[in-house]
Amino acid sequence: MSREDVDINALLRENIKSMKPYSSARSEFSGNAEVFLDANENYQDFLGGEGRNRYPDPLQRTVKSEISEVFGIETKNIFLGNGSDEAIDLLYRAFTEPKNDKVVVMPPTYGVYSVFANLNAVPMICVDLDSEFQMNLQGISDSIEEYGENLKLIFICSPNNPTANDIDLSAIITILESFPGIVVVDEAYQDFSNRESTLNLLADYKNLVVLRTLSKAWGLANARLGMAFAHEEIISVFTNIKYPYNISGPAQETALKALAKREEVRSGIDTIIESRIQMVDELSKLSFVDRVYPSAANFLLVRVIDANKLYTSLKEMGIIIRNRTNEPGCENCVRITIGSGNENRELLKALRALEGKI
Ligand SMILES: *Cc1c(COP(=O)(O)O)cnc(C)c1O
C-alpha cells in the first residue's frame, strides 16, 4: 500500500503557495572565499575566536549530514527546528488557513499542539483516546468525513505524552491510508520504545511527517534542536518559511558533539529503561498507588488515590512531579520522569514517608 497520490501543494495555505523565501547572504554564497563582506557582520570577534560574530549555516548542512547517518534518512528529507515545537508551528503555518481549516488532536496528549492551534487561530477537533489510550479510529474517520478537505492535520503522539504508551502502528497506517491530509507522528520518546518507528513508513507515505528531538534520549533539551522527517516537497516548504537562521551556531555545535556520542546515548537509554522497570516495581508497592501504566518512554503515568494531595505534599518536600489529573481519562494521575539513581531514591523515600497520609 502507499499514498503517493497526495498533492502537497494543494494542501498549502494560499499565501505559502506563492511565497518567495528570504535569501540570506549566507544562503546565496556557499563556496570558499577569503573575504566575507556580504552579511554586515562585525569583523571583530570579542569572544576570542569562537566565531560568534559570524552568521551560522542557515541550512545546517553539517548537522543534517550527521543526523542523516544516525537516523538513516536522506538529508533532503530532514528539517531542523528550534525544538520540535518549531516544526509543529510551521505545520500549522504551512498547511492551515486560520479560522477555516481544522486539525485533529487526541487528548490526553502533548499540550503544544493546542497552543499552536490557538496561536494560528485554527479550530481543533478533539477525538479523545479510548480507555486503553489508543486512537478512536471511528471518531477520526467521522471527522475526516465531516470536515473533508478543510481537515488538514492529524496529530498522533507515540509514545504518547502523558500516557507513556505506544500508539498501535496498524492504526496509524489505517489513518495514513484513509486521510488525504498531513499525518504528524510525534516520536519524541521513540528511543525508549521497542515498537518499530514510523520513520520506516516515510518512503511509502508522502503525507507523513515524523517528529523527533534531541531533547530527550540525546540529553539536549537545553540546546533546542528538533527534527521533522518527511517527503522532500514538505521539507522544502519548511525550509522556505522558517526563520533564516533558525538554529544558532552554539546549538549546531552542541548537536554535533552529542551526535558523536552515539554509544553513550545508546547505553544511557538502556540505563533509563532499567530504572523505569525498577520504578514500576517500587511504585506499585505503595498503598496509595492504584495503577502504574505501562511505559514506552522515560516517564511513568501513575494513578493514585488523590493526585492533588500527592502533588502538593511532594512539592512541600522539594520534589516536583507533574499533576495530570485534569486531562481527559487521567483523573488522579501524575506523570513522573525517570531521574538519576539518586533522584529516584529521593522520590521513593518521600513517597514511603507519605504512606497513610495520601
Ligand atoms: C518533550 C516533547 C517534545 C520535544 O520538544 P522540543 O521542542 O524538541 O524540546 C516533543 N513532543 C513531545 C510529545 C514531547 O513530550
The residue contributing the CA closest to ligand 1 atom 15 is 161
Lowest mean pLDDT among 18-32, 205-219, 305-319: 18-32
| 292 pLDDT above the threshold of 90 | yes
**Residue 2: per-residue pLDDT:** 66
pLDDT bin (cut points 50, 70, 90) of residue 1 is low
Q: Are strands 151-157 and 333-337 parallel, antiparallel or unpaired?
A: unpaired
Does ligand 1 come within 6 angstroms of the Cβ of 157?
yes
Does ligand 1 come within 6 angstroms of the Cβ of 88?
no
Does ligand 1 come within 6 angstroms of the Cβ of 86?
no
Does ligand 1 come within 6 angstroms of the Cβ of 187?
no
**Residue 14: per-residue pLDDT:** 95
Quickly tell me which residue has 488522579 as its cell. Answer: 332
Given a contact cutoff of 8 angstroms between Cβ atoms, the answer to whether 220 and 244 are in contact is: no
pLDDT in tens, 35-90: 999 999 999 999 988 999 999 999 999 999 999 999 999 999 999 999 999 999 99
The residue contributing the CA closest to ligand 1 atom 5 is 84
pLDDT in tens, 241-268: 999 999 999 999 999 999 999 999 999 9
**Residue 23: per-residue pLDDT:** 82
How far, in Å, is the centroid of ligand 1 from the Cα of 212? 8
Domain boundaries, the chain: 8-260, 263-353
Which atom of ligand 1 is closest in space to residue 214's alpha carbon?
8
Mean pLDDT of 83-100: 97
pLDDT bin (cut points 50, 70, 90) of residue 21 is confident
Provide the mean pLDDT of the chain: 96
Given a contact cutoff of 8 angstroms between Cβ atoms, the answer to whether 103 and 113 are in contact is: yes
pLDDT in tens, 125-137: 999 999 999 999 9
Mean pLDDT of 15-41: 86
The residue contributing the CA closest to ligand 1 atom 7 is 83
Domain 8-260 in this protein, CATH class: alpha beta
**Residue 38: per-residue pLDDT:** 92
**Secondary structure of the chain in the HEC alphabet?**
CCECCCCHHHHCCHHHHCCCCCCCHHHHCCCCCCCCCCCCCCCCCCCCCCCCCCCCCCCCHHHHHHHHHHHCCCHHHEEEECCHHHHHHHHHHHHCCCCCCEEEECCCCCCHHHHHHHHCCCCEEECCCCCCCCCCHHHHHHHHHHHHHHEEEEEEECCCCCCCCCCCHHHHHHHHHHCCCEEEEECCCHHHCCCCCHHHHCCCECCEEEEEECCCCCCCCCCCCEEEEECHHHHHHHHHHCCCCCCCHHHHHHHHHHHCCHHHHHHHHHHHHHHHHHHHHHHHCCCCEEEECCCCCCEEEEEECCHHHHHHHHHHCCCCCEECCCCCCCCCEEEEECCCHHHHHHHHHHHHHCCCCC
Does ligand 1 come within 6 angstroms of the Cβ of 183?
no
**Residue 193: per-residue pLDDT:** 98
250 contact partners, CB below 8 Å, separation of at least 6: 52, 223
- The whole-angstrom separation of Cα 106 and Cα 10 is 25
Mean pLDDT of 209-233: 98
Does ligand 1 come within 6 angstroms of the Cβ of 297?
no
Mean pLDDT of 100-123: 98
- Give the cell for residue 67: 543526523
Does ligand 1 come within 6 angstroms of the Cβ of 184?
no
**What's the predicted TM-score (pTM) here?**
0.97
Mean pLDDT of 134-152: 98
Which atom of ligand 1 is closest in space to residue 224's alpha carbon?
9
Does ligand 1 come within 6 angstroms of the Cβ of 110?
yes
Does ligand 1 come within 6 angstroms of the Cβ of 84?
yes
The residue contributing the CA closest to ligand 1 atom 2 is 188
How far, in Å, is the centroid of ligand 1 from the Cα of 163? 14
Which of the residue ranges 17-26, 32-41, 312-321 has the most confident prediction, judged by mean pLDDT?
312-321
Mean pLDDT of 298-326: 98
Choice from 82, 113, 185, 186 to test ligand 1 binding pocket (greatest atom count within 8 A of CB)? 186
Choice from 106, 110, 163 to test ligand 1 binding pocket (greatest atom count within 8 A of CB)? 110
Superfamily holding 263-353: Aspartate Aminotransferase, domain 1 (3.90.1150.10)
How far, in Å, is the centroid of ligand 1 from the Cα of 84? 6
Does ligand 1 come within 6 angstroms of the Cβ of 246?
no
Mean pLDDT of 106-135: 98
**Residue 299: per-residue pLDDT:** 98
| Residue 300 β-bridge partners | 336
How far, in Å, is the centroid of ligand 1 from the Cα of 85? 7
How far, in Å, is the centroid of ligand 1 from the Cα of 48? 34
Does ligand 1 come within 6 angstroms of the Cβ of 213?
yes
**Residue 188: per-residue pLDDT:** 98
- The whole-angstrom separation of Cα 296 and Cα 128 is 20
